[in-house]
Amino acid sequence: MANAYDEAHSLSLRDPAAFWGKAAEDIHWVKRWDKVLDDSNPPFYRWFAGGELNTCYNCVDRHVEAGHGERTAIIYDSPITGTKRQISYAELKQKVASFAGVLADQGVTKGDRVIVYMPMVPEALVAMLACARLGAVHSVVFGGFAAHELATRINDAQPRVIVAASCGLEPGRVIAYKPLLDQAIQMASHKPEKCVILQREQKTAELIPGRDVDWAEAVSNARPHDCVPVLATDPLYILYTSGTTGQPKGVVRDNGGHAVALKWTMKGIYNVEPGEPYWAASDVGWVVGHSYICYAPLLHGCATVVFEGKPVGTPDAGTFWRIINEYRIPVLFTAPTAFRAIKKEDPNGEFLHKYDLSHFRTLFLAGERADPNTITWAQSHLQVPVIDHWWQTETGWAIAANCIGLHEFPVKLGSPTKAAPGWDVQTLGEDKQPVPPGQIGALVCKLPLPPGTLPTLWNADDRFRQAYLDEYPGYYKTGDAGFVDEEGYVYVMTRTDDIINVAGHRLSTGAMEEVLSNHPDVAECAVIGVHDDMKGQMPLGFLVLKAGVGRSHEEIVAEAVKMVRDIIGPVAAFKKALVVPRLPKTRSGKILRGTMQKIADHEEFKMPATIDDPDILPEIEEALHEIGLAR
């Protein structure tokens, strides 16, 4: 007999308009849509065309008007500053409306872009929601990126206003954001008209008269602003993510499809009810933070947790359990790397067993491949289902998951379970034809993608087609390779491009190579991702020096490491590079990064048939051996 998942999945593919049209009834619309799915201009699909709504209204005002103003909307817990604060829906409405007034006073109107460069404080969500309230398009930039990355995003998004905090906090150090912001604006060719600065007491910033506005002062003078209706197909936000070059891709999210899909996932995937707390331990700068710290929990009327800390060291490996216990959180969503960090500090779960977690129901993991060790460790200590799910910045929510709100399937280690409703996941071989179950190929999703996914890239329809649609006509290319088994379980094995995953953070080795190639002594270079027990992968650079360079290799490597940190940011976690005489290449000159990675990770590899000079591989092996990698 078909279960609720089978029925939902099958209906969503057979009749997407029926499935998503029903889900859309859970959203408040100012004007109902003309068509659930507008497929008149493939490969560009639009959801809820003709409909009008306001995402902020659905996240905030709606709950207050329904009589839930006293419910908690945001739980702010910052072990780094020792602060705890709870904000009710009624308070959140007042804060967001006032801040929308501030933005409007700075000239922000519907369609304008606003960059948000903020740490994990409730004001980050207030800024995002205030943009949504005005119909403005936010673009949140993760705090671990350096000024140059911020400048790239400023040039691409062309914000009218930037909202930033004076500083962010990492364990043991204060990161002054304001100098990074000033530097980025100086580098950028586009200049924002105004910057609104949230002063944090850990490090206040000097404001530039005429350009910078103090958050608190502006709020005290602002009049609350109402929600502005927008088209379902209007953009809600742009989130930049790593592509294969240094130019990040501006993933666009619309308003209508996003609200419908995300609201649906809260029950369908996470099995959470309105009024319950829900915690995604990520950062607002990443897609998980957008979808599951900000929008989805609030759309569903849950309390969302804004956590400013780390899984270990703030103050110890029991922080997650303390928070789950203190706020009676039933569902946690984080990256496997966070669990590996905890497991390393607390292998026997001593911190964990100090807390009563009897109310805790489910752990969800995503962001990178969930290794079986981590899953079994979490299962045995937490005694709850540990559910891996697979998604990407582009998709905004899970492509494959164990949708426990519909039906709980047995977990198969290494698999994020089955394609979620709306997703037709297939595996294609080199001939672009489907391969049999169990055989590895490119993981692709048949178009149209469900609502909530990217309709395009910001101002770059051509790049959108080239990056995702051209290679497999009629499909979205995920960039991941893997397989689907006989029972429909999806297995995600590896990326097919230059993207690596470090501590659940998506990074481009191509972007790092672009930085390294600017070192005056470097003739050519390659960056690969090598296995790391805690972070999953770590970048490793190979530098070939220009002829005649006689300086010490240590010095050059130290400079290269510093360049990547200064230009991309600390989040690149680029700490290691080695100087080698030559790089292995194919006869057509393509660097054999995959083979180098296999040597570094002690994996079996076949000598590539197209290799130009096989003698280079032992040289690479030798160099890796010297730094403790390779056999």
- Interacting residue ranges for ligand COA, rule: CB under 6 A: 143-144, 168, 170, 175, 281-283, 286, 288, 310-311, 334-335, 337-338, 341, 367, 502-505, 535, 570-571, 573
Which one among 301, 367, 529, 539 touches ligand AMP, defined by CB under 6 A? 367
Among 541, 526, 536, CA closest to 502 = 536
Q: Using DSSP, state whether 510 is helix, strand or coil.
A: helix
Phi first, then psi: give them for residue 331, nearest 5 degrees. Answer: -135, 130
Residue 295 CB, nearest distance to ligand AMP (Å)?
A: 15
Q: Which of residues 313-352 bind ligand AMP (CB under 6 A)?
A: none
CA distances, 430 to each of 481, 517, 598 (Å)? 11, 32, 21
> In the β-sheet with 490-495, what is the strand arrangement from edge to edge?
425-428, 441-446, 475-484, 490-495
Minimum CB distance to ligand AMP smaller for 116 or for 227: 116
* Count of other CB atoms within 10 angstroms of residue 553: 14
Site string for ligand AMP, 504-543 (x = CB under 6 A): --x-------------------------------------
- DSSP assigned state of 468: I
Q: Tell me, rounded to whole angstroms, the distance of Cα 294 from its chain centroid.
A: 13
Residue 562 CB, nearest distance to ligand COA (Å)?
A: 12
Stretch that binds ligand AMP, among 318-326, 364-372, 418-426, 587-595 (CB under 6 A): 364-372
Which one among 149, 308, 368, 521 touches ligand AMP, defined by CB under 6 A? 368
* 182 lines the binding site for ligand AMP (CB under 6 A): no
Minimum CB distance to ligand AMP smaller for 86 or for 494: 494
Q: Cα–Cα distance between 516 and 11 in angstroms, integer?
A: 50
Site string for ligand AMP, 374-393 (x = CB under 6 A): --------------xxxxxx
Minimum CB distance to ligand COA smaller for 171 or for 437: 171
Q: Are 521 and 546 in contact (CB under 8 A)?
A: yes
Residue 511 contact among ligand COA, ligand AMP, none, beta carbon within 5 to 8 Å by kind: none
Residues counted in the chain: 631
Residue 123 contact among ligand COA, ligand AMP, none, beta carbon within 5 to 8 Å by kind: none
Q: Are 281 and 341 in contact (CB under 8 A)?
A: no
Residue 364 CB, nearest distance to ligand AMP (Å)?
A: 10
Residue 393 CB, nearest distance to ligand AMP (Å)?
A: 3
Three-state helix/strand/coil letters over 274-300: CCCEEEECCCCCCHHHHHHHHHHHHHC
* 241 lines the binding site for ligand AMP (CB under 6 A): yes
Q: Cα–Cα distance between 293 and 286 in angstroms, integer?
A: 10
Cα dihedral 84, 90, 95, 99, rounded to 10, equals 150
Q: Cα–Cα distance between 50 and 144 in angstroms, integer?
A: 39
* 495 lines the binding site for ligand AMP (CB under 6 A): yes
- DSSP assigned state of 189: S
- Which pair of tokens denotes residue 241? 């993510």
Residue 283 contact among ligand COA, ligand AMP, none, beta carbon within 5 to 8 Å by kind: ligand COA
Residue 23 half-sphere exposure, CB side, CA atoms within 13 Å? Answer: 32
Residue 527 CB, nearest distance to ligand AMP (Å)?
A: 17
Among 491, 445, 454, 492, CA closest to 472 = 445
Q: Using DSSP, state whether 331 is helix, strand or coil.
A: strand
Which one among 369, 381, 535, 593 touches ligand AMP, defined by CB under 6 A? 369
Residue 441 CB, nearest distance to ligand COA (Å)?
A: 26
Residue 388 contact among ligand AMP, ligand COA, none, beta carbon within 5 to 8 Å by kind: ligand AMP
Q: Are 444 and 472 in contact (CB under 8 A)?
A: yes
- Which pair of tokens denotes residue 289? 């933070």
Among 201, 255, 251, 204, CA closest to 57 = 255
Minimum CB distance to ligand AMP smaller for 319 or for 478: 478
- DSSP assigned state of 570: G
Residue 341 contact among ligand AMP, ligand COA, none, beta carbon within 5 to 8 Å by kind: ligand COA
Residue 388 CB, nearest distance to ligand AMP (Å)?
A: 5
Residue 175 contact among ligand COA, ligand AMP, none, beta carbon within 5 to 8 Å by kind: ligand COA
Q: Cα–Cα distance between 384 and 76 in angstroms, integer?
A: 25
Q: Where are the beta strands (DSSP E) in 97-229?
A: 113-117, 137-140, 161-165, 167-170, 173-176, 194-198, 212-214
Q: Using DSSP, state whether 586 is helix, strand or coil.
A: strand
Residue 480 contact among ligand AMP, ligand COA, none, beta carbon within 5 to 8 Å by kind: ligand AMP
Residue 467 CB, nearest distance to ligand AMP (Å)?
A: 13
Minimum CB distance to ligand AMP smaller for 274 or for 414: 414
Residue 98 CB, nearest distance to ligand COA (Å)?
A: 26
* 492 lines the binding site for ligand AMP (CB under 6 A): yes
Minimum CB distance to ligand COA smaller for 101 or for 285: 285
Stretch that binds ligand AMP, among 122-130, 297-305, 360-368, 462-470 (CB under 6 A): 360-368
* 293 lines the binding site for ligand AMP (CB under 6 A): no
Residue 281 contact among ligand AMP, ligand COA, none, beta carbon within 5 to 8 Å by kind: ligand COA
Residue partners of 563: CB distance under 8 A and separation at least 6: 515, 516, 518, 519
* 47 lines the binding site for ligand AMP (CB under 6 A): no
Bridge partners of 531, per DSSP, are: 537
- DSSP assigned state of 200: B
Residue 331 CB, nearest distance to ligand COA (Å)?
A: 14
Residue partners of 283: CB distance under 8 A and separation at least 6: 120, 142, 143, 289, 293
Q: Which of residues 404-443 bind ligand AMP (CB under 6 A)?
A: 416
Number of residues in contact with ligand AMP, rule: CB under 6 A? 21
- For residue 523, give the amino acid letter: A
Q: Cα–Cα distance between 311 and 291 in angstroms, integer?
A: 20
Stretch that binds ligand AMP, among 179-187, 363-371, 465-473, 607-615 (CB under 6 A): 363-371
Residue 337 contact among ligand AMP, ligand COA, none, beta carbon within 5 to 8 Å by kind: ligand COA
* 192 lines the binding site for ligand AMP (CB under 6 A): no
Residue 333 class from Cβ within 10 Å (0-12 exposed, 13-18 middle, 19+ buried)? buried
Q: Are 479 and 444 in contact (CB under 8 A)?
A: no
Residue 416 contact among ligand COA, ligand AMP, none, beta carbon within 5 to 8 Å by kind: ligand AMP
Residue 143 contact among ligand AMP, ligand COA, none, beta carbon within 5 to 8 Å by kind: ligand COA
Residue 391 contact among ligand AMP, ligand COA, none, beta carbon within 5 to 8 Å by kind: ligand AMP
* 366 lines the binding site for ligand AMP (CB under 6 A): yes
Residues making contact with ligand AMP (CB under 6 A): 241, 287, 366-370, 388-393, 416, 478-480, 492, 495, 501, 506
